[in-house]
A and B are shown apart, each in its own frame.
Chain A
């Protein structure tokens, strides 16, 4: 996507050019350049939330779309995510100070028996980028870990991830346990992972299967909006 970066001095670009350049830098996984871009925009008086949504999330959305279309592959997405993380690390404390809008809260984790977390980490990062508070339980979570976190964190959303066909059925164990305890309707349950599909999501009683991080964000926003509408009705 980007040409030779050597001649570009980020601070000399106007805002629009800089954001465009940050899209390119994010695409190319250039963490230091992203951090520099974020700092420049902050110096120019941009609100942290605006930098997050317009420069970082905007750029990562392009990365996500090209991943979905088979133009980018996992290594490139990981590098882009790493660059975005660099920018978010600067913005995170400032977002709390400046009262950025909160979309809702999510507890997320990879299921028992599974140690894979690349997709889950991407979802967590993009959800944070979209204004959700995310509590990441990490890998290899059993029912008790999920239920304990739901009780202590009181999130709106439970997210479960699995990479293996041998571990994905465990999501049903968690959902069934929620149902047995009369807690299923308290949470929006989103599931994802390479071997899953929509049919599987429905079969295990999840609210939705999300094929990638961008879809997870959009799905979460839509369910949260529906929840708010129901509450105000």
Chain B
């Protein structure tokens, strides 16, 4: 399966490679690269992937309905569906959708948590002044953070958005020095201190392995 550009994953998502199959993963576009890497690494050739536009991250109120629509489109064409969205700000709405359709979903409040491992993340749940970036969000920082918040046009709004944050935590899924440099630059642009935390794929790997 070919990986589309980050821009395309942000705006358009990803269609499944096959019209029918055994397991279809319904995921956020921000996870496409990592999921395809895991499929490749583990030889899970029976798994297919479809992604919703990653920019839904900025509109969590739309995620549950969009996932439900995708479930309805594919529940007859695939033996099993698995939703690779955590709660992601849906306030339990996504879980309700999955329960209603008898579809499993990955556990956790958001990808920052399952990348680090839900148990490990919960241990430092009081890290409330941290702003998280993943590999994908670092690459797409302008599309997800800088431009939607209007900071490209009005940098004077920075304190209104980030005045109470203290640090940017870059959760690295891969060892990529260039990406680490970019994440560091993002922290500087936001006026935050920087911490790199290597997570690898965390609970994403174990959750997908259970579907294999």
Contact = CB atoms under 8 A, between A and B. Distances in A.
Interface of A: 73-76, 78-79, 113-118, 139-140, 164-166, 168, 194-195, 200
Given A74-B149, A165-B109, 14 more contacts: A75-B149, A75-B150, A75-B154, A79-B154, A79-B157, A113-B126, A115-B128, A115-B129, A118-B161, A164-B89, A165-B89, A166-B109, A194-B61, A195-B89
B102 interface: no
Given A73-B150, A168-B91, A195-B60, A117 B164 contact: yes
B160 interface: yes
B110 to A, nearest CB: 9
Interface of B: 60-61, 87, 89-92, 109, 125-126, 128-129, 149-151, 153-154, 157, 160-161, 164-165
Which of B60, B61, B91, B153 has most A Cβ within 10 Å?
A: B91
Contacts of A73: 150
A194 B90 CA distance: 10
A16 B3 CA distance: 59
A150 to B, nearest CB: 23
A188 B37 CA distance: 53
Contacts of B165: 115
Give the secondary structure class of B's interface: loop
A195 B160 contact: no
Contacts of B92: 165
A80 B149 CA distance: 15
A75 B129 contact: no
A139 B129 CA distance: 11
A164 B154 CA distance: 25
Contacts of B61: 194-195
Contacts of A200: 91
A165 B164 contact: no
A78 B153 CA distance: 13
Nearest to B88: A165
Give the secondary structure class of A's interface: loop
B157 A139 contact: no
Nearest to A112: B128
Contacts of A168: 91
Contacts of A116: 164
Nearest to B162: A115
Contacts of A114: 128
9 contacts: A75-B149, A75-B150, A75-B151, A113-B126, A114-B128, A118-B160, A165-B60, A165-B90, A166-B109
Contact of B91 (A78, A113, A165): A165
A232 B125 CA distance: 48
Which of B60, B61, B129, B164 has most A Cβ within 10 Å?
A: B164
Which of B90, B149, B150 has most A Cβ within 10 Å?
A: B150
A141 to B, nearest CB: 12
Given A74-B149, A118-B160, A118-B161, A165 B154 contact: no
Nearest to B151: A75
B153 A75 contact: yes
The 8 closest A-B CB pairs, nearest first, are: A75-B150, A115-B164, A165-B91, A195-B91, A78-B160, A78-B157, A165-B89, A166-B109
B153 to A, nearest CB: 7
A116 B129 CA distance: 10
B158 to A, nearest CB: 11
B156 to A, nearest CB: 8
A113 B150 contact: no
Contact of B128 (A76, A78, A113): A113
Contacts of A118: 160-161
A73 B160 CA distance: 14
Contacts of B89: 164-165, 195
Contacts of B164: 115-117, 139
A165 B87 contact: yes
A225 B110 CA distance: 42
Nearest to A81: B160
A115 B192 CA distance: 15
